Amino acid sequence: MEKNNKRPTGQEDSPPSKRTRTSTPSDPTLQPKHTLDRFVNSSKPDPIAVHVTKEIKDRKSVFKALVFKAKSLSDVTDIINLVKHRFHSNPASHNITAWRFLSLKKSCDGLGGPGDFEIQSGYEDDGEARSGAKVLKVMETLQIIDAIVVVSRWYGGVLLGPARFDHIETCATDACKVFQSIDALDDDLLRLSELDLQLSKLRIELKILTDPDFLPTSSPSGSQTKSDPYQHLRNPVNLIGSAKLITAREKAIATLHKLIQQAKDKKSPVSSSIDVTNTLEST
């Protein structure tokens, strides 16, 4: 079940208020703008955008989407405030927002399985009527969960009509597709980390079985890694590469299990007694 919080506002293709500048934004950056007051008063760091899309320009209007991870209404509020007031060096005329995240149902503790959870979703038009629902529809179509998408528009003084919805949907789609890829890669990298740790333990186990003089100095731990061994998979996102590495690690683990079993068989009492019997019979 999906719980929807709709917050539409404003009129169709409404021009910006007097307090909003209409010039095009400067080059986008993934880092929000900070002020001294923000640094002193904030109890936690600003959220960081997972991705910022390229700009779409049409008759002096500029459109650009941002996507953040979000798992609660508190996250949604923080991100909306960030984008409206601090993220852009030049405030946007409209910040069209939609979000979807998984949450516990009331009176549920999560122990009852998937039925204890529901998807909470909502949108905010921010003066661009009917646009928030279109961004949410993109998220639903691409099955984006635990995220908030913000499409910022800098109004250029010319009404675009229905074309503005095309630009908003294009920006939202681009942001969601990148989020999908990064989310999938994060899952792959977590899997690779688990497999690497398993490989390290198996290699030590095999070494102990096959080398009587071997003394392990410490237990393998992912925290000992000084640098990210998979940074090359992140930029650009390489899901094909991560899938190949997972397959290679799984094959290596299967091989090590066979070698360890062979080493254990050689050391087992049954094997030793058979060897002794065969030796006695041959003498």
* Same domain? 55 vs 24: yes
Co-location of 97 and 43 in the same domain: yes
Render 4-54 in DSSP notation, one character per residue. EEEE--S-TTPPPPTTS--SPP-S--SSPP--HHHHHH-SSPPP--SEEPP
In the chain, the amino acid numbered 194 is E
The CATH code of the domain that includes 173 is 3.30.230.30
- Judgement on whether residues 205 and 111 belong to the same structural domain of the protein: no
Neighbours of 141 (CB within 10 A): 10
Residues ≥6 apart with Cβ < 8 Å to 189: 230, 233, 242
Taking each helix axis from N to C terminus, what angle separates 163-210 and 131-141, rounded to the nearest 10 degrees? 30
Crossing angle for the helix pair 239-267 and 269-282, nearest 10 degrees?
Answer: 50
94-104 and 51-52 strand pairing? unpaired
Check residue 140 and report its DSSP letter.
H
Per-residue pLDDT, 220 = 57
Strands 117-124 and 2-7: parallel
Q: Residues 193, 75: one domain?
A: no
Task: Report the DSSP pairing between strands 56-58 and 61-69.
Answer: antiparallel
**Boundary residue ending a domain (179, 205, 239):** 179
Regarding whether 123 and 52 lie in a shared domain, the answer is yes
Inter-residue contact 63 to 72 (CB < 8 Å) = no
Q: Are the beta carbons of 97 and 80 closer than 8 angstroms? A: yes
Q: CA-CA distance, 27 to 207, in Å (whole number)?
A: 55
Domain boundary pick from 153, 179, 205: 179
How far CA 279 is from CA of 15, 181, 263, 275, in Å, comes to: 96, 62, 21, 6
C-alpha 61/C-alpha 92 separation (Å) is 10
53 class by beta-carbon count within 10 Å (0-12 exposed, 13-18 middle, 19+ buried): buried
| Closest to 131 measured CA to CA, from 17, 21, 7, 19 | 7
Residue 171 sits in the same domain as residue 206: no
221 plus 141 within the same structural domain = no
254 with 269, same domain: the answer is yes
CB atoms within 10 A of CB 100: 22
pLDDT at 3: 58
* pLDDT < 50 regions, the chain: 8-12, 15-41, 223, 270-283
Beta bridge mates, 97: 124, 150
The whole-number pLDDT of residue 32 equals 45
**Does 36 share its domain with 99?**
yes
Residue 137 and residue 257 in one domain: no
- What is the count of structural domains for the chain? 2
Give CA separation, 149 vs 174, 175, 183, 195, 207, in Å. Answer: 10, 7, 14, 33, 50
Residue 212 and residue 240 in one domain: yes
Q: What is the pLDDT of residue 45?
A: 82
Domain boundary among 138, 159, 179: 179
Structural domain of 249: 185-282
Other Cβ atoms less than 10 A from the Cβ of 265: the count is 10
Q: Are 134 and 7 members of one domain?
A: yes
